[in-house]
Structures are given as structure tokens and as C-alpha cells.
Structure 1
Amino acid sequence: MVATLVRRFGDLDVAEEAAADAFAAAVARWRDDGVPPNPGGWLTTTAGRKALDRLRRDRMRDEKHGLLLRLQDERPDEPERTIEDDRLRLLLICCHPALPMEGRVALTLRMVGGLTVPEIARAFLVREATMGQRISRAKARIGAAGIPFEVPSPEHLPARLDGVLTVLYLVFNEGYLATGDQAEPVRQELVLDAIRLTRLLHGLLPQEGEVTGLLALMLLAEARRAARVSPDGELITLDAQNRGAWNHAMIREARELLEQADRLGTARRRYRILAAMSATHCSALRAQDTDWVRIVALYDGLARLDPSPIVLLNRAVAVAEVSGPRVGLDLVDGLREALSGYHPYFAVRADLLRRLGRTAEAVDAYEQAIMLTANRAEKALLSRRRDALVTAGDEPAEGRSAPLERGGPQPPADIPG
């Protein structure tokens, strides 16, 4: 709805406020009148009227008055099939190169992904107030720069691609394992939105290997959905998942996409590397058959592109599988200052300490991870692991790790996707 309103009225604030007003009107009206036969159409029509009302209130401003005259349109709303095109248009607008990269990503997550400011702040490991200011500045800059609300020409698309891909995968990541404390640990509507928009982008840019790689990565992650959460709501780590429950048709499609990306001959980049890691995991018939040496090599390539603390944390998990938990722990401990508020850091550290027989320290690390996460499925898993150590004492050292499974572009402490 917001994307459609932006296309029609060309103003992000008008679109957001009109959509919110329409939902408020629905809360008031539908309680007494009942839900209309076409709720989406009712909301869209009402939002359009609310936007026109606001523009009428601003008619003393010449530019708003001229816009109002152009927008007096009694034609029926466009068919439902145009909505996804509107969202792709809005995605590309918000990722205009005139905006700084951090502003592009934050604004698009808010406007296109529908994430809240706290959710976006957690994704970037910054304070909510900082993120709110970042989004407000990006909106203001769009207006001040006169950025047109239209799909850029094909030759201008590559300049926006990095921001678009980052946004799509951050939306996917928030759906794949939500950071908030809502009832459902997986926000499937965000996952499907991200995949749908990435498919549209892939159709628009079929020769872009990174778009192809991102779509493959999302499909490899989504293919495991049925095996990721237990019936009682606890996260199931990759090593313990029922691989027969994975969607193998989706895995085959993802592998075909990766082969397509390889045929394009473009340099291997972030999302293609991450997708190659995920494909390596999905190729193992059993968890113990995983080719960790290959995964470490892929992480080495990723770290050359982006030596961020989260990438290095995930690389440490893979190194621990090849070289042992003591080597992995040394790498993890070097990241403490950078990741002191990041719960997967403590979950990884707890698991490595457990494997080394340092039970008391492992319990403390689990406690910190539990305190920092809000996702109920993760909290349940971490609590059970902590309780097992408290009640049973040391578990066998040097056992295989079972890190948390998340899906971010630099996926926390397990496998990409």
C-alpha cells in the first residue's frame, strides 16, 4: 500500500501517514460495520483519500497545489498484480546513489521491508535513536535533492545494486529468525516478501551474478524451514535437523542458480560465496560429512572482501571444526570488544568452552547469550543447553559444535542462510 501511494503521490511521508490513517479508520469502522468484502481495496481507497485530504490541507503551498490538481483521478485502483512492481520501484528509489549507503539501507528496510526502527537498529548494532535519525535524514535528503519517484533506466541500476541486495537480505534475515520477542520465531511473511522481490530483481537483471547468488542463498535457507523449529518451539540447529524434511526441489533450483551465476563469468562476491557455503552444507547427507575445509576456504575469501567482526566470528566457528575448539576460542576471544552486545558471540563462545570442559565459564556465556536474545526459539535452545551443563556437569570435551542457525548476510555463528 505504501509503495502504491508513493508512486501516486511522490511523497514518502504522505504515503506512510495516509496508510497509517487508513488502518486507524479500519479499526474504528470495521468494528461496527464488519470487514468489507475486499479489505485490501477498502484500505487502499481510504488511504488514497486520506492522502488527498492532507494535500488539500497543504494547498497554499504552490507545488502541493499543483500536485493535487494532477492527482484528482477518479479511475478505479490498479489491479492487485501491480503491487509487487510498485514495491520494486520503491526499493530502487530508496536505494538512490545520492543517499549515503547506510541511509539507503535503513530507509528501504523501513519503507519497503516494513521493519520497525528497533528491528533495524538491532540489525546494524546501533542505538534506536541513531537509527531513527538516520531514516529521517534519508527522507529529507530525497526531498531536498528532488529525487524522482520512478524506476531508474537500466544503465543506472548497477549503481543502486549493492544497497538493494543488502536490504533484501536483511529483510530475509529478520524473517528467517526474528530478533524481536513476538510469538513466532520465524516471520514467514518477511521471508516470502524478500524471495519474491529478489525473484523480480533477478528477472530484471538476469546477468548480475550477485542477484542470482542472493536468490540461491535465500532458497537454500528457506528449503530447511520445515526442520528448523521443534513442535514445542525450540530452535533446531543444523547438525540436528531432519534432512529428509528439507525441500530438495528448492535446493536443486538453488544449485541451478549457482551454476548459472558461475556461467556468467563474473568474479565471486559476497552472496555467491555465502550461497556456495550453504550449498556445501546442503550437499552433506549427514552433518558429520560436511566439508568444513571447503567452508573455511570460502570464509577466507569472504573475509578478504569484508573483514567485519561478524564474518570473522562465523569463520572462527568453521575453523574450530577443522582445527579444534581451542583454536576457534582464541579467534573468538579476539572479537569480544567489537561484539560485546551480540548474543551469537556469547552462544559460540559458550559452545567452545563446553567442548573444552570449561563448564562454569560456558554457563556464564550461555547466561549472557540468553539475556541478549529476544527470540523465543533461540532462548529455549540456549536455556536447555545451559541447564544441561548445570545439572549434568561437564559434557565431553572436543565434541562437535552446534551453533545457532541464522540467515543474515553475515550470518551469526553458524552457516550462511
Structure 2
Amino acid sequence: MLAAMPPPAPPFAQPDDARFRSRGDACPGALRLHRADDGALARVRVPGGVLSADQADGLRELAVELGDGELHLTSRGNVQLRGLGAECGGELASRMRERGLLPSARHERVRNVVASPLAGLDGRGERDLRPWLSALDALVCASEEAAGLSGRFLFALDDGRGDVDALGADVTLRARADGDAELRIGASAAVARIPGDEAPRAALLAATVFLSMADASGSGAWRVGDLPGGAGPLLDEVVRRLGAAGLPVARATVPVPGGTPPVLGVVAGPGGTDALSVGLPLGRADAVRWRALTDLARDHGTGELRLTPWRGVVVPGLRRGRASEALDALEAAGLVTGPGSPWSGVTACIGRPGCAKSRADVRGDAAAASRAGSPDRALPVHWSGCERRCGHPRGAWVDVVACPDGGYRVSVVRDGERGVPVRVADDPAAPAAAVAAARAPHT
């Protein structure tokens, strides 16, 4: 019998290609590769950031054998593989299916779900999020309507601590101490209080109502913020439909929290176990660093990794007393293990040579500036090769953007408002000094 031929390599998506815009946006996925200057790019959705050690090993093998050898984390807790060959699409898809990373080809780009990374690990949250995560992912993958969502549409599951509620997702579920959930649409302070057990279905309903309103408006909206009427009318319609279905629904005003990422280091948990929370320098891990994490999870933890929207990794379930020793080993491997690391809070877009739109090697310049260290309680800083500012953080942060004629503009962003930028010369010492001054807490 002849062996089955692998599926053909998926086409490259170009942002202005009407074939793709008519079905949503050209956001890359695992089956729709994007052509970059350093080769093809695949973005693998990891709902809730949860990977088994075997799945993580599979991604490492793909990065080494088909790509540039590194795994790149995104601000949504997903994984990007870069430097892929143009003809690798069929093999890439087949091997990811074998690892359980592609449960639905039609939905692979829309499985965008972030979740509180420390849920159930430190005793702070109000609910175990795993039932919500499993249910929502299954509902999305089973919904024909949900397949029409943009690859940019984002769900967030917050265990009550307010960390991912602060990320401005299109649909957020936040757990309450009384067992109910708050459903937030976009960044609006208005929420709907609903029974916790019905929360995943309510989130899917909100997404499908969004699609209906986007079609009716003719706006081609990809995210809630693109709707002509904003989040308000969408929440109104969702509340109406939930009430019509017989669910108890109450309206409330709950301001969007400030939110903070997980602390780096050992996270003490219940039951004699700890978790480790570490960061990846500029969100990248080579095969050696990635394997250090997967081996630790498999040999001493629960066999699971949790990727965070802050380009970090949480390893749960380490025996108490083992965590400190393991943290030292990860620090020796080059991972970010505490706020004192020069890499703490530093992110960057891919820059040159990977992106044709970038005006500078922002990763190299960020690395040079980071060697000078950072002040205590420093603001996060993001280096961008152009005004698109791909992957920038939310909240208060230092914005470093490469200028068309060389050098950088450095400014501080607070509450969505950007301060007066400082122009610095194309000299390695100048950006480092300007960034250090901007990151200081008093600015």
C-alpha cells in the first residue's frame, strides 16, 4: 500500500491579500505561514498557555529541524517558529497533529485564550480555571460560526486576581469568590454577572454575537474595539440573549484592574509543592534552555508547562525544597529568575534581519542596553523597529521606537497616553542611558 502523501504546504498569507481578508485577517497560524525576511513564520496557538512536556518537546524538535532552532513566545502565551523553509508546511502540520497541537484545522488560528498562569498554584485565585479552559476550547472548535473569528480575537480567563483581566481581551471571564463569573467585553467597565458553570458558553455566545454585529455593520471588524458602537451594544445584546435563555444575569460596573504579571522565582503553593516562574530573555529560548524547562517539568513537576502572556514560563508541582535548587540551575542556563536580572521587563519585536519593516536590530540594541542593568521597580520597556510596535505591553511602559533616519525615540506610556518623546542618537550608549532614565520609578 502506498504511504499517504503529506498535505501540501500552506500558502503564505500577505496582509493585503483579499483572499484572506475576506475570511478574517492575515494573522499567521500553524497552517497559514507568513513570509518574513528570515524565512517562513508559524504561530502555534496554545490555549491558556498549557503545554505538556511531550508537546513542548515536539515544538523544540520542529524549531531545530525545520526552523531557526529557537522558540519565540508571544504576548498571548503562544509560540512562534521562525526561519522555516517554504516547503515545510505539510510536515509541520502533520507533526503538530501527532502531538495534539492541532485539534481542528479550521479553528487553529482562533484558539486565542490567555489564562491566569498561577491559577491553582499559589492559593490566591477564586477558581480552578482548567474546566473553563477545556470547555471553552472545545466549544470554539465545535462551532462553525467561531471559525470565522479573526486570528486577533482574544479570550481571557481570569481566576479572580485580575492579571489577565487587565490585558484588554475581547471577551474576558473573571471568577468570583461566590462561584459566579463576570463577563467583560473589551476594556469596558461594564460587566455581566453570570453563573460560573455557564461562563464558557456565555463567552462563545459573546464571540458569535460579535461576528453578527461586525457583519451587520459592514465594518469588517476583527476585534471588539473595531466595532462602530464599541463594547456597549455588544454586551447589551449578549445580556439580552442570556436572559432569554433563562440564565440569571445581573449588570454591574467593575473597573478594569491594573494587573501584574506573575512574580519571578519560587512560587509557594499548597500541599507541599511549589512552582517556578521564569522569563525568557526577549521572549526567546534556544533548544538548550527550552529542554532545561521541559526536563524539569517531566522529571520533577507535573509534566506541564504554562506559558504566560508576559513571555515567561511557569513549571508547576515541584516538591518543596527542590524548587530553589532548580531555580539556580535555570538561572545558570540563562533564564530570567528574578527582578534583579538585567533582562527583567525587557521585550522587543523581532527587528532586523527578521522583519523588512524594521529600521534597526532592536534585539541587539536591547541586549546592549540591558547590560547596564535597570533601576529597582523599573517600568517594563519594549523596543520596536517601527511604529507598529508589535508585541508591546499594556499598562505603564517605556516605548523605544527606531527612527527612519537612525537613532531612537524614547517615551513613557501611562494610561494609554504617550509622553513627550526624547530623541537619542544612533550610538549604543545613548539609548541605554535614555531608557534607564525613563524606566526609573520617579518618571
Q: Do the two structures share a fold, i.e. TM-score over 0.5?
A: no
Q: Give the TM-score normalised by the residue count of structure 2.
A: 0.26
* Between structures 1 and 2, the one with greater strand share: 2
* Between structures 1 and 2, the one with greater helix share: 1
